[in-house]
């Protein structure tokens, strides 16, 4: 598979790292661009210094993401956008499970991507926003040797507990949008419970693979 689409997934790997990195100190009034920058740098710094992570300890990466990055994502929004029109048809219990399983899937994928992190530089774009804005896009560029820079866009919304990301676009590919068709197909053929089951078994499979490593 030598096509350019594949290049995208390399970017995904690179980008996911800093995608995770939308975390930081939960200061309510930290502007979103500063938040992204702080969290990215903090996470990268921890990874750079942690010998166990560099040796491939997936568990530690997952812990790091859960501690530093998760608090800055709104997984309910992400899941709602990915499930799209079927969201309204789900019961509260189903919604809860969907959010849980989707979150686990994203965290596992991210932590796996982190191991692909190499020699990249981050260019944090200053955000021009009005004080009244409640929905912004924070732009980061990943600069890598011998390839064009990759844009990393965080769509963020203002919440009482600070700014939260509800989508990440890596090289123009929205994570939320990319799951939308998959989710819609699953719901159409096997229903919402079927989708939950698919996500759960995907997560179990990944967990088993991580154990083996």
Partner 1 sequence: MYGFNESLDEAVVKPVATAYKESLPEIVQIGVRNFFSNLEDIFIGVNNLLQGKPVEAASDWTRVALNTVFGGVGLLDWASEIGLEKHNEDFGQTFGRWGVGDGPYLVWPVLGSSTLRDTAGRIIDIRVDPLRNHKPIATRNVLILTNGISRRAYLLDASRLLEEAALDKYVFQRDAHLQRRRSLIHDGSPPRESASGRPFSADAGVSPVPASSDSDVGQPRAALPPALATSVRGE
Which residues of the chain form contacts with partner 1 (CB under 8 A)?
1-13, 16, 37, 40-41, 44, 48, 81, 84-85, 105, 108-109, 112-113, 115-116, 119-128, 139, 141, 143, 145-149, 151, 169, 171-174, 177-182, 184-186, 198-199, 202, 206
| Nearest distance from C-beta of residue 109 to partner 1, angstroms | 5
Q: In sequence order, what DSSP letters do the residues of 86-149 get, joined into one string?
A: GGGGS-HHHHHHHHHHHHHHHHHHHHHHHTT--SEEEEEPPP---TT--EEEEEEEEEETTS--
Q: How far is the CB of 193 from partner 1 (least distance, A)?
A: 15
Q: Which is nearer to partner 1, 93 or 119 (CB)?
A: 119
Of residues 9 and 57, the one with the C-beta less far from partner 1: 9
Kindly tell me which of 6 and 28 has the beta carbon lying closer to partner 1: 6
Work out how close the CB of 29 gets to partner 1 at its nearest, in angstroms, rounded to a whole number: 20
Tell me whether residue 13 or residue 28 sits nearer to partner 1 (CB atom).
13
DSSP 24: -
8 Å CB contact between 163 and 9: no
Q: How far apart are CA 84 and CA 177, in angstroms?
A: 9
Provide the Cα torsion 154, 159, 161, 162; round to 10°.
40
Residue 44 C-beta: closest distance to partner 1, Å: 5
How far, in Å, CA of 111 to CA of 121, rounded?
19
What is the C-alpha to C-alpha distance for residues 58 and 69, in angstroms, rounded to an integer? 16
The residue (of 27 and 172) whose beta carbon lies closer to partner 1 is: 172
């Amino acid at each position: 598979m030598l096509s350019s689409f594949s290049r995208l997934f390399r970017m995904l790997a690179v980008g996911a790292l800093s995608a995770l990195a939308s975390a930081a100190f939960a200061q309510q009034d930290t502007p979103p661009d500063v938040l992204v920058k702080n969290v990215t740098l903090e996470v990268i710094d921890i990874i750079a210094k942690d010998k166990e992570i560099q040796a491939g300890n997936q568990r530690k990466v997952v812990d790091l993401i859960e501690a530093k990055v998760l608090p800055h994502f709104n997984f309910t929004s992400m899941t709602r956008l990915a499930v799209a029109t079927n969201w309204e048809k789900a019961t509260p219990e189903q919604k809860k499970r969907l959010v849980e399983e989707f979150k686990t899937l994203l965290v596992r994928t991210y932590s796996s991507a982190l191991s692909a992190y190499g020699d990249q530089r981050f260019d944090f774009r200053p955000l021009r926003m009005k004080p009244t804005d409640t929905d912004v896009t924070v732009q980061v560029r990943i600069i890598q040797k011998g390839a064009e820079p990759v844009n990393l866009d965080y769509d963020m919304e203002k919440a009482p507990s600070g700014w939260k990301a509800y989508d990440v676009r890596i090289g123009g590919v929205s994570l939320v949008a990319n799951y939308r068709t998959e989710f819609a197909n699953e719901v159409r053929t096997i229903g919402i419970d079927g989708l939950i089951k698919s996500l759960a078994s995907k997560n179990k499979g990944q967990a088993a693979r991580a154990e083996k490593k």
